[in-house]
Structure 1
Amino acid sequence: MALKGKKSQDETLVKSKDFQGFLDEFQKETDRSTAIIGAAFLDEHLKQLLANFMVDDSNEVKQLLSQESPLGSFGARIRAAYCLGLISRQYFESLKLIKDVRNAFAHQLHGLTFENKDVADACKKLQALQPLKSRFAQTPRQMFVNSATFILMDISVRALTVLQKRRKIPNAPHVQEFFV
């Protein structure tokens, strides 16, 4: 039993270091990298949230969440997490905006910044930190970084707590039970 606890503590420490590394990188990168890295990290955490909620059949879940599958894209994972009740409407809307910002940076070859009107307008609509917006004067980049970080932390916690609600594979009734 002590080994299991030790392993869990070690995994938590590694994840904590990964998260700190992500935050450091996330805040120091160019606007393009910040948008793409932030969305990629959120995508991975949504994938984990969904996997933790689904039945305990790693091969099937892995196939459902792989790149070429129905839930292989960031947009599909956002929608699935919302429709399964794993994230709020507010997060759903914010994650769609984050995806749009990521796509804008990914598809424009050069010159795009968070100060671009369309990108800035999208960042101003991010709802994750809506109650705190009036307390902090934020640039569009800060709004993006802070919203993505806040959602990321929350999804990370949800990915652990959702294990208690993991779907169970039902037992199939025997055919003869229908005819009794």
Structure 2
Amino acid sequence: MSRPTELINSVFADKYSVFADKPGTEEFTRYLSRFNDESDRGAVMIAASMMDDLLRRKIIADLEPVRQAKLLFDGLSAPLGSLSAKMLMAYTLGLIDERMFKELRTIQKIRNRFAHDIHVDFKDDSIKDLCGNLTFMNDPEKKLPARNRFDLSSVTTILLLSTKPAEPGAGLKIPTNEGKV
């Protein structure tokens, strides 16, 4: 199972069928087809970009509908211009829970390594260590290769962010399945 979609389909077949009719599923499917064709670096960058966009939408949905709200996200000095700022804002607003926040922080660290080091890949010890901290999959003994751990975690994160409603005060809570995906 080298292709991300094959791995993801095998893991998600039963567990996320509950999301099939939710808003955002079509967008998630488009993302997944793009993600499937990417290199390691491309997959990391696309996943982080998608998470950034989804967090932005969740935050905007929680704000008063004023024209100036876009200034929080756009421009050189935009206070919510970075993924880090969006994650923190979404967490403090209760739009994501602590587990999601920690997963996003780890993915962000992986993204930063890939963005700033042209020689890094999933075989790098620091990336393996970071991927070992990802929790959105059932791999307690950490037997999955780093790329597979990243794929499963990032796809789970994006699926949850894209299928949960972006309603004011909705608060994204991660469904638990007693340690399973």
Report if the CA contact (8 A) 2:132-2:149 is conserved: yes
Listed as ranges, the matches of 1:77-116 within 5 Å are 77-109=86-118, 111-116=119-124
Match of 1:65 in 2: 73
Taking the aligned partners of 1:112 and 1:162, their CA distance within structure 2 comes to 35
Query: In the comparison of the two structures, how many residue pairs are matched?
Result: 149
Moved over 3 A (4+): 12-18, 134-137
| Structure-1 separation of matches of 2:56 and 2:38 | 24
- In the TM superposition, residue 137 of structure 1 has moved relative to its aligned partner by 4.5
Root mean square deviation of aligned Cα: 2.4
Sequence identity (%): 26
Shift in alpha-carbon separation, 1:16–1:94, aligned structure 2, 3 A: closer
Query: How far is the alpha carbon of 1:67 from its aligned partner?
Result: 4.5
Offset, 1:17: 4.4
- Alpha-carbon separation, structure 2, partners of 1:89 and 1:79: 10
Q: Are the aligned partners of 2:44 and 2:114 in contact in 1 as well (CA < 8 Å)?
A: yes
Please give the per-residue CA displacement for 1:140-166, whole angstroms capped at 9, x wherever unaligned: 1111111111111111233xx342538
Query: Which amino acid counterpart does residue 129 of structure 2 have in structure 1?
Result: D
Select the residue among 49, 73, 77 that pairs with 1:40.
49
Judge conservation of contact 1:35–1:102 (CA < 8 Å) in 2: yes
Offset at 1:135? 9.1
Kindly indicate which of the two structures has a greater share of residues assigned to helix. Answer: 1
Q: Structure 1: any 5+ residue segments left out of the alignment?
A: 1-11, 167-180
AA aligned to 1:151 is T
| TM-score, length of structure 1 as denominator length | 0.74
The yes-or-no answer on 1:139 pairing with 2:145 is yes
In 1, Cα distance between equivalents of 2:24 and 2:157: 16
Report the AA paired with residue 138 of structure 1. Answer: L
